[in-house]
Structure formats: C-alpha cells, structure tokens
Amino acid sequence: MTDPQPAAAPGQDATPAPDPEFGPALIEEATKKSGLVWVRGETPGAPERALWHVWHEGAAHVVGDGPVEQPLPGLVAGGAADITVRSKDKGGRLLSWRASVTELVPRSEAWESAVAELRAKRLNATDTEGLPEQWAADCRVLRLEPVSVAAALPDGSLAVPPAVSPATTRRPIPAALPRLLFRRRDRS
C-alpha cells in the first residue's frame, strides 16, 4: 500500500508536478492532440489567445498577423511565450509549458517544411494552393519550441472577461412569434 499524497497548503495547487523525464514527450503528445493552444507572449499587456497550430519537428508552429489569419499579439522573435494546452475532448487545461519563439524566414527550408504542414491543416481556406505565397508576403510563421514544463497547473480558472465589443446579445424572442409561425405552417 502506498502512502497518500500530502495535502496541499491553502492557496497552493494540489496537482503534482510533471516528471521532468517525461516532460518533452508529454508536451508533444498533448500539443499534437489539441486543436488549439492558448498562447501568451512576454510583451507586457499581451493578451492570451487561442491559436490553431501544427506540431512539426519538435515544436508547435503557428501562422498569423496577415489580413485573414489569426493575430499573434505579444509573440516576438527571440522572445518567449507561455503555452497552455487543453484537452480536445473535454476542453479542460491539461498542461502548461514555456516556449522560445523563432520567426521562420520566408522561403527558407524550415519555413517551407512548416508551411507544408500548416497548409495541410488549414481549415476554411478558399485557395489552399495560393496560401504559401500569401503567407510569405503578408504573414509570420512562428516556431514555438518547448523550453520547460510548468511545475504545476494554477488553482484558479484564469478566465479573462470578454473584450469590449459593439456586438450585443440576442434579445428573447417575442412571445407571439411561435403562434405566428405556427399559423403560417397551417396555411400552406
């Protein structure tokens, strides 16, 4: 019989720290399976953003900052970023890791290799054949290479209030609407 885990002190997370020996494999497996990762750059005030990515050659790769691609605020070449990986099936936070950020030079061998993978996984693109040219001209392709695994997940939810927007919430439907719709069906 094993000894029970000691209880966490108040205000501390009870999640055990990941084993450093399995850190790289854990990062790769969790990140590969997640369609989105939450990324926060090191620029002060940079928001944490959900970004689609592709795991390729030991790092997550993202494309963005173009006219029709995802924004990459706070991600600076030569800087660092904090990555949070969510569960694909439940959406809960699985793992957090620190990454070094490298901007790939357009048309370099590393860029071509990453773009081939990104293009294959890009959803809702109207012209997949022209994506490499568009990305070379208008976007940045970043390599987020793991540096370390976070010791433990934080206690709180880390939820951020929604951004201020002119969009409004839909109002309740008028009480008479169901009756009006029902009458129209009876007439046909």
CATH assignment of the domain containing 74: 2.30.110.10
How is residue 36 written in tokens?
Answer: 């989105």
| β-strands 49-52, 59-64 pairing | unpaired
Domain extent, residue 61, equals 23-154
**Is residue 38 in some structural domain?**
yes
pLDDT band for position 8 (cuts 50, 70, 90) = very low
Instruction: Specify if 47 maps to a domain.
Output: yes
**Residue 10 binned pLDDT confidence (cut-offs 50, 70, 90):** very low
More confident residue, 44 or 50: 50
Domain-located, residue 73: yes
Domain membership flag for residue 11 = no
180, part of any domain: no
Query: How much is the average pLDDT of 121-145?
Result: 91
Per-residue pLDDT reduced to its tens digit, 47-59: 889 999 999 999 9
Q: What is residue 6's predicted lDDT score, i.e. its pLDDT? A: 39
Q: Of the candidates 93, 69, 62, which has an alpha carbon nearest to the alpha carbon of residue 158?
A: 93
State the residue for tokens 């957090």. Answer: 96
Q: pLDDT-based confidence at 3, cuts 50/70/90?
A: very low
**181 in a structural domain:** no
* Residue 118 host element (H or E): helix 109-121
User: Residue 95: inside a domain, yes or no?
Assistant: yes
- The number of folded domains in the chain is 1
Q: Which pLDDT tens digit goes with each residue over 73-94?
A: 899 999 999 999 988 788 788 8
Backbone angles phi, psi at 13, to 5 degrees: -80, 140
d(CA 59, CA 64): 16
Domain membership flag for residue 185: no
